Structures are given as structure tokens and as C-alpha cells.
């Protein structure tokens, strides 16, 4: 005797009263990353079908739900990424005579621990994206709110005679190929939020 079930709202006839998740997937042409759920009455969430064989009843309904799949695509176009940051913060890319390439962002939020709380920040991007990012500076006119010089920094003439605080800050969790200029800016923010 045939049993009818519904997979993704389509009626299917079975000549057995057991089925597997794989068979349901095949009936509904369900993608591998989707999970299959059995529709149940009541307020409890519908259960996912078990991996093995299980019993089905006449008229039961099964449906597929995909994962929520989100994410920034790692920028392969570094210049577009740099241009995007300049559009957000204002600024420019500067070349120094010693061959270094810097991204200078004009309106960077340092946070409430700093005076002023918004300032320029310069990020050394020489060799990026192939090379890791691990150096940044803020103008030496910026101080901690207490009036003190930021710790673990040294005054450096980065662009001509202009003096900047050069942060000795090397994020240990940098991972080549996964991180971008934007995620490095996240590390900078974390360091500045420490307010020291």
C-alpha cells in the first residue's frame, strides 16, 4: 500500500513506511548544506530528521532550510579597499623617500581616552596585500586624556619633519590571507581603546 508524503510542498508516493534523510534530499533535490526538518503540530520547533532510517506517516510534510550564510569577501583588490577607506575617513596614500607606502586617514576615531578623540592615523601598507600589516602612527600632538604620551610608542619623523607617535604593536593573531586592511584597522581600534 502506498504512503504519501510531502517534500518541499511536492507530493511523493512511497511504497514503504520508512525513509532516510538522504532519500528525502533526493526526492526534493535538496542542496547538501540545507538541513531537512519534519513539520510538527504545536509550539515546539520542528525537529530535524535523523540521519538514519525512520518511520513516516501518511501525509507528513518535510522541508529544507538553508544556513544563514554571510560574510565579507576578502578583498582581492587592495586598491579598491584603500579607496573605500579614504572615502569613509578622508585621507590619502603617501610615499616616503625611504620607499615606504603609508595610508593616512584624516578622521579616525581614537576613542574617549584620547585628546583629541578624532585624529589622523597613518598605517604602513608597504607590500600590502602580500605583506602583513603591523605598523601605525598617530600625530605627536595627540596625547592620552591624562596628558601623558602613549605607552610603547616612540616619536618618529614619518613624513618630513612632522613628528608622529609610532606604535610598536604587532597583533599576534594576524593571519595571512584571512586578514585585510579593514581587519587590521580593527586591531588598531582595539589597541587605542586600551587607552594607554
Partner 1 sequence: MELIWAHGLQKEARDLLLAHAPSEYGGALLCRTGVNGDADTFRALAFEPARTEEVSESEETGLTIDPAFWVRLAKPARKQGLSVVPIHTHPFTQAAPAFSRRDRAGELSLQPVLERLTGRPSAAVVMGERLETVGRFQDGKRLEGTVRSIGESPTRAATVAIDSEVFSRHIRAFGEEGQQRLQSLRVGVVGASGTGSHVCEQLIRLGVGELIVVDSDVVSRVNLNRIVTASGNDAAEERAKVDTVRDYAAWAATGTEVVGVRGDLLDTAVSERVRTVDALFGCTDTIASRAILNRIAVQHFIPYWDCGTEISAGHGLRAYGRMRVVLAGGPCLYCSGVIDPEALRVELLDPAQRDLERARGYIRGAQAPAPSVVSINAVVASLAVTSFLRWVVGGEPIDGGEWIFRSYAGDVRRQEAQRDPQCPVCSTGARLGRADLPVGLSQ
Identify which range of 30-38, 128-136, 143-151, 158-166 contacts partner 1 by CB under 8 A.
Answer: 30-38
Cβ 34 vs Cβ 49: under 8 Å: no
- 72 lines the binding site for partner 1 (CB under 8 A): yes
Candidates 43, 55, 98, 130; binder of partner 1 (CB under 8 A) is: 43
Q: Which is nearer to partner 1, 45 or 97 (CB)?
A: 45
- 67 lines the binding site for partner 1 (CB under 8 A): yes
What is the distance between the alpha carbons of residues 29 and 82, in angstroms, rounded to a whole number?
43
Q: Which is nearer to partner 1, 36 or 158 (CB)?
A: 36
- 194 lines the binding site for partner 1 (CB under 8 A): no
Grid-cell match 510534510, residue found: 61
Q: Which is nearer to partner 1, 37 or 54 (CB)?
A: 37
In this structure, the strands spanning 153-159 and 162-167 are antiparallel
Candidates 12, 61, 101, 182; binder of partner 1 (CB under 8 A) is: 182
**How many C-beta atoms lie closer than 10 Å to residue 59's C-beta?**
10
Candidates 87, 148, 172, 176; binder of partner 1 (CB under 8 A) is: 87
Grid cell locating 62: 518535510
DSSP tag of 48 = B
- 185 lines the binding site for partner 1 (CB under 8 A): yes
The widest CA-to-CA distance across the chain, in whole angstroms, is 90
DSSP tag of 117 = S
Candidates 23, 86, 183, 191; binder of partner 1 (CB under 8 A) is: 183
What is the distance between the alpha carbons of residues 14 and 33, in angstroms, rounded to a whole number?
25
DSSP tag of 142 = -
- Residue ranges binding partner 1 (CB under 8 A): 34-35, 37, 43-46, 48, 63-74, 87-89, 109, 178-180, 182-183, 185-187, 189-190
Amino acid at each position: 500500500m502506498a504512503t504519501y508524503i510531502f517534500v518541499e510542498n511536492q507530493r511523493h508516493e512511497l511504497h514503504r513506511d520508512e525513509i532516510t534523510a538522504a532519500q528525502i534530499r533526493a526526492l526534493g533535490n535538496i542542496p547538501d548544506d540545507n538541513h531537512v526538518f519534519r513539520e510538527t503540530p504545536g509550539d515546539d520547533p520542528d525537529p530535524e530528521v535523523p540521519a538514519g532510517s525512520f518511520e513516516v506517516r501518511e501525509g507528513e510534510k518535510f522541508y529544507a532550510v538553508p544556513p544563514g550564510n554571510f560574510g565579507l569577501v576578502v578583498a582581492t583588490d587592495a586598491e579598491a579597499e584603500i579607496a573605500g577607506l579614504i572615502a569613509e575617513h578622508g585621507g590619502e596614500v603617501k610615499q616616503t623617500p625611504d620607499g615606504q607606502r603609508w595610508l593616512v586617514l584624516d578622521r579616525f576615531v581614537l576613542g574617549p581616552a584620547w585628546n583629541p578623540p578624532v585624529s589622523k592615523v597613518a598605517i604602513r601598507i608597504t607590500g600590502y596585500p602580500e605583506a602583513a600589516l603591523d605598523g601605525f602612527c598617530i600625530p605627536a600632538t595627540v596625547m592620552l586624556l591624562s596628558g601623558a604620551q602613549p605607552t610603547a610608542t616612540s616619536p618618529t619623523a614619518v613624513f618630513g619633519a612632522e613628528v608622529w607617535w609610532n606604535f610598536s604593536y604587532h597583533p599576534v593573531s594576524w593571519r595571512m590571507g584571512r586578514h585585510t586592511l579593514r581587519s587590521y584597522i580593527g586591531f588598531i581600534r582595539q589597541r587605542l581603546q586600551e587607552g594607554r
